[in-house]
Amino acid sequence: MARLDNLKKQAKLILRWHRNQYYPVAEQIRRALPHFRHLSDHEIFAHPFKLSDAQELLARQHGFASWQALKGGLATVSDQAAETAPKAMITATAAQLFVTDIKASCDFFTRRLGFSIVFMYGEPPFYAQVRRDRGLINLKSVDQPVVDPALRDREALLSADMGVETEEEIKRLFLEFQAAGVTFFQTFRREPWGAKTFIVKDPDGNLLLFAGPAD
């Protein structure tokens, strides 16, 4: 019952997010609910959205066809099964970069670094997410630098740290970026602890470390 109560609270929160036009929830709605699948963020927020829609969204995210099916499924879970349920696992993380121009930053990541755009939000855009393989980066528009540029360069303050699995891959990635005309803050080198790394500087001065094993 405690879990069902939590889901009821989540449904109310999703309903409030829709009313407040909290943009990340638009993607959840689009993915989970078939009748919203082909709508833009703006159209989703303009479309009527009820508590029953939020409940259906949660049910589908948990593998059930409806809220009633979800409640029935929860009712069949024994206390012993609940006690032995696997611990929740975080499956992805995303670094957040502060940038002055979302479109220019997205162009840099897609054209120079081989990322793709997951979403871009706002008119004009002020928030976006880009992805390459399992690497995620959020981009947030700001009016002025969040970190002192001189301090960042002097201390090599990293904004993101991404890795590959083999020595060959880190070499190929460096050569790919080099051919694309990327600006390097630190060129390809072997670190004292054994990794091979290089650091890219984006148009806003953010430092992005790429690393792989040395052998």
Q: Estimate to the nearest angstrom the gap between the alpha carbon of 69 and the chain centroid.
A: 30
Q: How confident is the model at residue 96 (pLDDT cuts 50, 70, 90)?
A: very high
Place 84 in a pLDDT band, splitting at 50, 70 and 90: low
Angstrom distance (rounded) from CA 67 to CA 62: 10
Angstrom distance (rounded) from CA 101 to CA 119: 15
Q: Cα torsion at 164, 92, 192, 178 (round to 10°)?
A: 40
Distance CA 148, CA 146 (A): 7
Residue 83 burial (C-beta neighbours within 10 Å; 0-12, 13-18, 19+): exposed
Structure confidence by residue, pLDDT tens digits, 45-77: 999 999 999 999 998 888 888 998 888 887 665
Q: How far apart are alpha carbons 65 and 63 in whole angstroms? A: 7
Tokens 């959205």 found at:
49
Most confident of the following: 9-13, 38-42, 92-96, 200-204? 200-204
Sheet holding 116-122, edge to edge: 94-99, 135-141, 125-132, 116-122
- 8 Å CB contact between 119 and 99: no
Look-up: residue for tokens 């929830």? 25
pTM comes to 0.63
Domains and CATH numbers, the chain: 2-83 (no CATH), 94-212 (3.10.180.10)
Distance of CA 53 to the CA centre of its chain: 24
User: Residue 78 has what pLDDT?
Assistant: 46
- For 163-194, the pLDDT digits (tens) are 998 999 999 999 999 999 999 999 999 998 88
